[in-house]
Amino acid sequence: MKKIIALLIFVCAGAALFAQNVRVSLGGGGYFTANWNAATMNSEWTDYFKNDKVSYYNSYLVGGGIYGFFDATYIEANLGVLLGGQKNEQYPPGSSTDDQKGFEVTAFKIGIFGKYPFELGGSVSVFPMLGLDIMLPLGGKMWGRDLDNKDLKDEVNSLIDKYKNKNPKDVFNNMFTQVWLKLGVGADFYATEHIFVRPEVMWGFRMFNNDMEKDLFIGSFKTDDPKNQKPAKSIFGHGLDIRLAVGYRF
C-alpha cells in the first residue's frame, strides 16, 4: 500500500508541475478491457486432479463497462464499473477440471493518470498518459457458483491450504483486488469549442498483490511433498484497455 500511495503522489506531483493554463473537463463513456496473467510452473509441480505435468497456467479476463472522468489538462481521474469474466487454462490441455467454469466479476474501478497534451491544430489534441488503475471487486461467481454456495466453500477449504477456513468471498476478493500501472495515449477531437470525443488506448502491467505473492490464486494444493507447495516460478500480468468517451470542457 505504501508503494501505491507513493506512486499516486508521484503522478499528481508530476502533473502539478505543469499546472498552468489549466482547463477543466467532465465526461463519460464506455470501455473494453482484456488482460492476461501468465504463470510458468515449476517442473516438479503436478496437476492435483490428473497428476499431469503442467508447464504453464494462464488466466484471462475479458469485459467492459462504463466510466466517468474529471480532467484538469495534465491530470485525468476516472471512476467506473467493470463487468467481466475470467477463464483459466493449463498446458497440457485437459489437465484442469472439466467443471471449472471460471469466474464472473463485477468491480469498481478508480484511475488517476498524468498526461501532457500536444495541440494538433485548433480542434485536435493528443496526449501520452501514465498512471494507476485500481480494481475493487463488488461481487461475482467462482467456478460458476455463487460465492455463498456451501459446496463451493467446502471445495475451496479442501483444496487450498492458504485459504483454509476462509470463505469463497475472501478468496474472490483477494484475487480481484488489483492495482495496475498503465501507460498509453489518448486524443480529444472537438466537435465544438466545448464538446469533444475522447478515445484512449492503454497497456497495463499488474502489480503483485498478496494473492499473487503466494504464487497463484490456487495457492498450494494439499500435498505431502513440500516442493509442490510453490507451483509457479514466475507470474506476469498485463492487459489492454480501449476507452471512448464524450466530454465537455469548461
Tell me, what amino acid is at 99?
D
Q: How far apart are CA 124 and CA 199, in angstroms?
A: 12
Could you tell me if 4 and 63 are in contact, meaning their C-beta atoms sit under 8 angstroms apart?
no
pLDDT 10s digits, 212-232: 555 444 444 444 554 445 555
What are the structural domain ranges in the chain? 2-249
Q: Tell me the pLDDT band of 170, cut-offs 50, 70 and 90.
A: confident
Helix or strand or coil: residue 159?
helix
Distance of alpha carbon 175 from alpha carbon 216, whole angstroms: 9
Report the topology of domain 2-249. Porin (2.40.160)
How far is it, in rounded angstroms, from Cα 133 to Cα 227?
A: 35
pTM as predicted: 0.78
Helix (H, G, I), strand (E, B) or coil at 192: coil
Following DSSP, what letter does each residue of 15-44 receive, concatenated?
A: HHTT-SS--EEEEEEEEEEEEEEEEEEPTT
Backbone angles phi, psi at 246, to 5 degrees: -115, 135
Percent of the chain with pLDDT over 90: 44
Handedness of CA 106, 111, 117, 119 (dihedral sign): positive
Q: Where are the beta strands (DSSP E) in 8-120?
A: 24-41, 56-72, 75-91, 103-115, 118-119
Among residues 101, 108, 72, the alpha carbon closest in space to that of 87 is found at: 101
Residue pointed to by grid coordinates 485525468: 76
> What is residue 149's predicted lDDT score, i.e. its pLDDT?
82
Find the helix packing angle between 168-176 and 150-159, rounded to 10°.
70
What tens digit of pLDDT does each residue of 117-145 get? 999 988 999 999 999 999 999 999 887 78
Helix, strand, coil share of the chain (percent; to 5): 20, 55, 30
| Res. 191: pLDDT tops 70 | yes
* Residue 212 and residue 162 in contact, taking contact as beta carbons nearer than 8 Å: no
Query: What pLDDT does residue 220 have?
Result: 44
Rounded-to-integer distance, Cα 81 and Cα 136, Å: 10
φ and ψ of 118, to 5 deg: -120, 125
- What is the total residue count of the chain? 250
Backbone conformation region of residue 21, classed left if phi is above 0, alpha if psi is from -120 to 50, else beta: left
